[in-house]
Chains A and B, each alone.
Chain A
Amino acid sequence: MPASTSAAPRPVAPKRSAVRSLLRLWPYLRPVRGRFLAAAFVAVVASCLSLVIPLVLKWMVDGPVAGRDPDGVWLGALAVLGLGVAEALLFGLRRWLVARPSTRVEASLRADLYRRLQRLPVAFHDRWASGQLLSRGTTDLSLLRMFLVFPLTFLFVNGVTVLAGFVVLLAQDWSLGLVLLLPVVPLVVGCSLFETRYSKAARRAQDQVGDLTTLVEESVLGIRVVKGFGRHRSQARAFRVLAERLRGTELRKARLLAAIWAFITTVPELAIGAALVLGTVQVADGELSAGTLVAFLSTALALRWPVESIGFLLAMSQEAATATERYFEVMDQAEETADRAPGAVATAADRAPGRDAPGGDVPGGVVFEGVTFRYPDAPEDSPPVLRGVDLRIRPGETLALVGATGSGKTTLTALVPRLYELTSGRVLLDGEDIAEMPRERLRSLVAVAFEEPTLFSASVRDNVLMGAGPEAGDAELRRALDVAQAGFVADLPRGARTEVGEQGLSLSGGQRQRLALARAVVGTPRFLVLDDPLSALDVHTEALVEAALREVLRDTTALVVAHRPSTVLLADRVALLSEGRIAAVGTHQELLRTSAEYAWLMSGTGDGKR
């Protein structure tokens, strides 16, 4: 079963260190830095308070307890209680301080991602599975939020706590303190070894989860194929292979984690044991008070969590760094050119040098001038899809675009609303180069019905009126639905207010195609682009739609991709696209006579290819 490869592009980003990746988050953190600093401060204070408790204990043991002074005991216990209450409140305060800011950072990262994705070239979206983008917008961002509230604060806080703890330890007894300092070197070495290996395994696991998800998605979406060919067993086998591969990686991750944990637990514990023995000898020799030893060990044990936690804090940071990389893989992509600052672009067309003045003897309608196009992700040496298309659609004219399967018809239509950038050449709308028009205006002039009719999760009414300006209302809606012969809308549960799309009623292919057509015509656009708009309709409906569409096309400049004579007949003239060039232009009858390829495309008989 072909399912073993991943659909997601895996750009090999230059390897940055985890810290450098994470530093890129600073602009988002900046606005809330005050809160985060305050939280870190509070956390440090709370941690230090917990270090003070053993000192109180020491005072109790060596003072009131040894002196058999019950009142002193009360005092000590009250001090412990006070410190405890303060610690609890500070813990809460820290969480309260970062709760809202951390969600704000997450939300603004997500909003920026969404904003950027909406403005990235369509070619980008061709390459990236939407699932990959989605996982960046959800899982990865919540990993980042977790990093901000936890590892970021606690790597710092625990570091400070450990330092302060060592000061306390060394102050109490410097020789015992030095014993506890011994493990620092092996711990640092161990952690850094772990870090690099774990990050590799973590990224591999993330990618393998992606592969597994792809297989699951495909076998669900392609269930009719799987069922139709009785292939569920081989699908299950392919699934098992991938799932076992993931299991292997996860186990490797677990072993790495287990090793670092064991290491981080054992080494400090050994040092504490050594300190205990040494301390016992010193107490016996009378060099050290029993209270000091108790306090010393109590402090050392209090430091255990800060030290042990470094392992998983590093693991979390590592994962956050990977998530940041994944996030910026998308954010670093260039937006559609020239639309970067919407305000500035509005005037770009006017400033552009050499722009044909409107009016005068400039040809109107749509003009393709030496248009060459190669998909941006195609290899440099591959032949372009379009190789010098010259074509003019006169104002008010409807031009049918005919060509063999894979000749580039759909590609050509996508160039008019500038969904892709031309490799070379120009496209002019009423004399104006589309490359110099603000996209916003360009796209308000051009309406498109795509081959794949996509409806959004909204009412029928909203889906259709999307194609018109804000002033359009029920009258326009009715007219557009009439043109598209979408009478079925009246029979829907709530008429035009019925929710459709992913979240609503599912419509048949023909119904969706008619709504997409209605959307294209509802705004009475100056330029209309229709990509095989009637393919899913039955003969009867097709005839009705054609009749109504003729009225609309009468005074619209339109480009219609056609597979069939019936669609071609909507047009005034026909252009034949062949091997990336316009091979012939003329009326249907002319072309039938003069072009063997055209006759072949329209009738399927003859030998047009050669």
Chain B
Amino acid sequence: MTAQDQALRERETSEEGPDGAAGPDGRDPFDRDALPAPKGATGALLRSLLAPRRARVALAALLLLLQQAAVQAGPLLVAYAIDRAVPALRQGDHGPVVAVAVGYGLCALGAGLFQYGFVEASARVNQDVLLDLRGRIFRHAQALSVDFHERYTSGRLISRSTTDVESLRELLSEGLQELVNVVLSFASISLILLWLDWGVGAVAVASFVPLYLLVRRYRRRASAAFSARSTAIAAVIVKFAETMNGIRPVRAFRRERSNDEAFGALNRHHERRNGDAILEMARYVVGSRLVANTAVAGMVLWGAYRVAEGTLALGVLAAAVLYMRRLYDPIDRLGMFLNAYESAAASLEKIAGLLAQRPTVPEPAVSRELPRRPARAPGREVVFEGVRFAYRTGGEVLPRFDLAIPAGQTVAVVGSTGAGKSTLAKLLARFYDPSEGRVLLDGVDLRDLSASELRRGVVMVTQEAFLFSGTVAENIAVGRPDATREEIEHAAKAIGAHDFIAALPDGYDTDVRKRGGRISAGQRQLVAFARALLADPGVLILDEATSSLDVPGERAVQRAMDTVLHGRTAVVIAHRLSTVEIADRVLVMERGRIVEDGPPERLIAGEGRFAGLHRAWRESLVG
């Protein structure tokens, strides 16, 4: 499942994907991988990440500057040694040569020390930025509403917090250092060369023009090559992940050979695109090296000519030659920096787009508290007041309706697929907010409740019983993290999950992932149920929460419900009408409307839809 999503995200990462290009303009922004970010949001994001670490960034830059100074001083000392120390020595003056020795030693030690300091300081900045960014994405994603998650597939979200962060990491940890190095050494060496001899310096500066043009051309061509490559790898990943996640049907339906072929084609396509991108880099390297080496030849010519003329000291020429070779060393790395930059910029833009999303179900600025529930209270009262709901993409799902559920009542909601049962439940759980009207819990609008207060009031158990990595006990404790082991076991016993849990290899301490998903679908639903019980909410919503249970399991849950639902308001959605037997009231929904409403006995006795459904169900039971 997870990698499948990861793969999906990879596919989306490349915006030139075949399906990405086909869509008409003005379509749903969620169809695209990158959500629109306000103008300048990317830069603002980067600034907001770096600004709190201004001091450290400055420190890192200073250390790098010092390191460069120490390294670049070497050739100057060589010039000094040849031009000064040699004549001085010949006159018996040991001063200058000692100065050279001390100076060079200090420079070497300084270079090492500053190097260490810089790498350490910049790593700290990088890691803090990444920690900050990861945390922001995570918290933001967790704060966004369920409807956002339904549209922005999980795969994309995982991609934002993994590969996109990763590409920023690459830029920060290698790219930026390279850039600073390139800029610093270009600037410092050009200045030194100009200072040593204006002609040599002029040649160096002049060579920057063709280099700039080369870099510009490379950026243009490389970004096309890289995006083609990322599209290609995304296709490879999608196929790969899909095969691994569906390995059982792959085997059972003998897809291996045709998969090999399909995957081979995608893999070869990526191989070609990958090669293209690498060759693009090769072209850049040849071009830049040519320019650099030509410039060096020019400088040698000019310098040597001047020395031959007698207008330049030999030591200066020696120093100049040593600098020249260094000047162009970082040039290859500039290409690498550009790659890192391109991909990080694209990633940051996507992250900024995500962070720009506002929760559609926001937490209130000023939250209210639910009225205190007396110990023997029958649960909480639920009122839908003039509620209408439409998905933002259009299409009215629930036309305006009113509904009051008195405290302590158990309501069964039935109806065919797509009748709006789950939407009703999600409004009550505040996964969505109504387009119109209000949902009240004990008279308080759900929108005025803080998240924690809301969850003390309402908890929903869904069909897909998701288990987190960790032990069974930890999974139940999601309902109430501070629960004791006794309370956890009590909840499991109450729902009939204790027996199977106790039979697991390590009982409640069995790791649910270690056994490779061999906790059956029904057992997962029992764990999810126990989780909800532990949370002890005033209102419990069960959305198809027993669909995978066998009959005894379902019966056990129903028997448990008598006690479990005591002192609670409950809304139960189920295909199988056995649930109805415990309900005080039945709502039949059709096309978003409540078409029948009443106690089950009365509806069964009547001639309405529910009576028909119930008859069909009874028949399916007896054999």
Bound CA–CA A510/B157 (angstroms):
26
CB atoms of A221 and B5 under 8 A apart: yes
Q: Which of the residues A131, A223, A281 comes within 8 Å of B3, measured between beta carbons? A: A131
The smallest beta-carbon distance between B164 and chain A, in angstroms, is: 12
B520-540 CB contact bits vs A (8 Å, 1 = yes)? 111100001001000100000
Segment with Cβ contacts to A, from B49-57, B180-188, B271-279, B364-372: B271-279
Find residues 86-109 in chain B having any chain A CB closer than 8 Å to their own CB: 86-87, 89-90, 97, 100-101, 104-105, 107-109
Contacts of B296 in A (CB 8 A): 80, 84
Contacts of A503 in B (CB 8 A): 8, 11, 19, 238
B242-284 CB contact bits vs A (8 Å, 1 = yes)? 1111111111111110011001100110111011001101110
> Can you list 25 A-B pairs with a CB-CB distance of less than 8 A?
A64-B308, A65-B317, A77-B298, A84-B293, A85-B290, A85-B294, A88-B292, A92-B283, A92-B285, A114-B263, A117-B243, A125-B247, A129-B2, A138-B233, A218-B466, A219-B141, A229-B531, A262-B113, A265-B108, A272-B108, A280-B82, A298-B318, A406-B503, A563-B522, A565-B622
B32 within 8 A of A: no
CB atoms of A220 and B154 under 8 A apart: yes
Segment with Cβ contacts to B, from A161-169, A353-361, A445-453, A473-481: A445-453
Contacts of B143 in A (CB 8 A): 232
The smallest beta-carbon distance between A362 and chain B, in angstroms, is: 25
A394-413 CB contact bits vs B (8 Å, 1 = yes)? 00000000001110001000
B411 within 8 A of A: no
> Can you name the residue of chain B whose Cβ is closest to the Cβ of A232?
B142
Q: Which of the residues B75, B138, B268, B555 comes within 8 Å of A236, measured between beta carbons? A: B138
The smallest beta-carbon distance between A155 and chain B, in angstroms, is: 17
Contacts of B416 in A (CB 8 A): 538, 540
A603 within 8 A of B: yes
CB atoms of B318 and A134 under 8 A apart: no
Q: Which of the residues B107, B120, B267, B577 comes within 8 Å of A107, measured between beta carbons? A: B267
B399 within 8 A of A: no
Contacts of B307 in A (CB 8 A): 61, 65
Contacts of B318 in A (CB 8 A): 61, 290, 294, 297-298
Known: A99-B279, A538-B417. A284 touches B85 (CB 8 A): yes
CB atoms of B278 and A569 under 8 A apart: no
A227 within 8 A of B: yes
The smallest beta-carbon distance between B531 and chain A, in angstroms, is: 7
Please give the number of chain A residues whose Cβ is less than 8 angstroms from any Cβ of chain B in the complex.
Answer: 181
Contacts of A419 in B (CB 8 A): 248, 251-252
The smallest beta-carbon distance between A238 and chain B, in angstroms, is: 10
- Kindly list 4 other residue pairs between chains A and B, CB separation below 8 angstroms, not including A255-B120, A293-B82, A454-B245: A87-B289, A215-B469, A217-B154, A456-B242
**Of listed A2, A126, A240, A566, residue having the most chain B CB within 10 A:** A2
B7 within 8 A of A: yes
CB atoms of A280 and B89 under 8 A apart: yes
Contacts of A149 in B (CB 8 A): 278
Bound CA–CA A554/B5 (angstroms):
40
CB atoms of A298 and B238 under 8 A apart: no
Please give the number of chain B residues whose Cβ is less than 8 angstroms from any Cβ of chain A in the complex.
Answer: 183
Contacts of A103 in B (CB 8 A): 271-272, 274-275, 278
Bound CA–CA A385/B281 (angstroms):
57
Bound CA–CA A500/B290 (angstroms):
53
Bound CA–CA A294/B75 (angstroms):
10
The smallest beta-carbon distance between B562 and chain A, in angstroms, is: 14
CB atoms of A1 and B478 under 8 A apart: yes
B449-467 CB contact bits vs A (8 Å, 1 = yes)? 0011011000111111010
B207 within 8 A of A: no
Contacts of B238 in A (CB 8 A): 457, 502-503
Find residues 243-298 in chain A having any chain B CB closer than 8 Å to their own CB: 243-244, 247, 250-251, 254-255, 257-259, 261-263, 265-266, 269-270, 272-274, 276-277, 279-281, 283-285, 290, 293-294, 297-298
CB atoms of A280 and B478 under 8 A apart: no
The smallest beta-carbon distance between A114 and chain B, in angstroms, is: 5
Bound CA–CA A251/B123 (angstroms):
6
Find residues 286-321 in chain A having any chain B CB closer than 8 Å to their own CB: 290, 293-294, 297-298, 301-302, 305
B37-77 CB contact bits vs A (8 Å, 1 = yes)? 00000000000000000000000000000000001001101
CB atoms of B263 and A258 under 8 A apart: no
CB atoms of A446 and B252 under 8 A apart: yes
Segment with Cβ contacts to A, from B124-132, B189-197, B340-348, B585-593: B124-132
B547 within 8 A of A: yes
B325 within 8 A of A: yes
The smallest beta-carbon distance between B334 and chain A, in angstroms, is: 15
CB atoms of A543 and B616 under 8 A apart: yes
Bound CA–CA A131/B3 (angstroms):
5
